[in-house]
Amino acid sequence: MKLAYLSASTIPSRLANSVQVMKMCQAFSQLGMMTCLYVPDMPADALTVGESCHSRYGAARVFEIECVWWSKLFGRLYVSGFLAPLLRRLPGWMPSRK
């Protein structure tokens, strides 16, 4: 089964909700689901050189993290939620944060 986990959390971040999102995606993946985490393409805390998002949160590398366009319009959650699976089908459209 494939699972697209859409989150409004900034990854990486120092906020607790980003930890919860990463751990949930890890748990879904460990249950056998092909999980892809979609996060807003917004400025994030800088990663230290050589550090990945997965290692920063202590999460296993069992799921993908993709950036999606994030609208500043009213109703952006609906717009981004609609566009994420469509953009996913276009090869090379979204860079991966690994």
Name 40's bridge partners.
68
Burial label for 78, CB within 10 Å (0-12, 13-18, 19+), is: exposed
pTM for the full model? 0.70
Is 67 inside any structural domain? yes
Average pLDDT (48-73) is 76
Residue 42: predicted pLDDT: 62
Instruction: Inform me whether the pLDDT recorded for 56 exceeds 90.
Output: no
Average pLDDT (37-62) is 72
Mean model confidence pLDDT for the chain? 76
Tell me, what amino acid is at 57? Y
Average pLDDT (20-49) is 80
Tell me, what amino acid is at 92? G
CATH of the domain at 81: 3.40.50
Domains of the chain: total:
1
Q: What domain range is 73 assigned to?
A: 2-88
